[in-house]
Amino acid sequence: MAAVDSLKAKGNLTADILKQNTRKSIMAAGFTVSLAMLGAIIFAVTSIIEETDWWLDSGFYGAFIGGILTVYFGMMISSRK
């Protein structure tokens, strides 16, 4: 949480701007997670229909795990007063 305190200490960065940016980041990360899940479901269904071997690759895991972590840490930042 020291990063939040140091961001607040910078000039022209108010708590309201920080909260707005955090909310935007949370929404964008949530969209990324949902898009990654939708892509994974479509990929799995088409692979089952075509009867081929499939495995989700690093692009899925990077977007999914990174998005979840961004949402989690964003919620921690926004809940801090």
**So what's the pLDDT on residue 20?**
85
Asked whether residue 9 is assigned to any structural domain, the reply reads: no
**So what's the pLDDT on residue 7?**
59
- Model confidence, pTM: 0.74
- Return all residues near 57 (Cβ < 8 A) that are at least 6 apart: none
| 11 φψ region: left (φ > 0), alpha (ψ -120 to 50), beta (else) | beta
Which H or E run contains 15?
A: helix 15-49
Asked whether residue 58 is assigned to any structural domain, the reply reads: yes
Asked whether residue 75 is assigned to any structural domain, the reply reads: yes
Domain count, the chain: 1
Asked whether residue 1 is assigned to any structural domain, the reply reads: no
Asked whether residue 21 is assigned to any structural domain, the reply reads: yes
Asked whether residue 36 is assigned to any structural domain, the reply reads: yes
Asked whether residue 40 is assigned to any structural domain, the reply reads: yes
Q: Which domain holds residue 62?
A: 14-79
Going by pLDDT thresholds of 50, 70 and 90, the confidence category of residue 53 is confident
**So what's the pLDDT on residue 64?**
94
Asked whether residue 4 is assigned to any structural domain, the reply reads: no
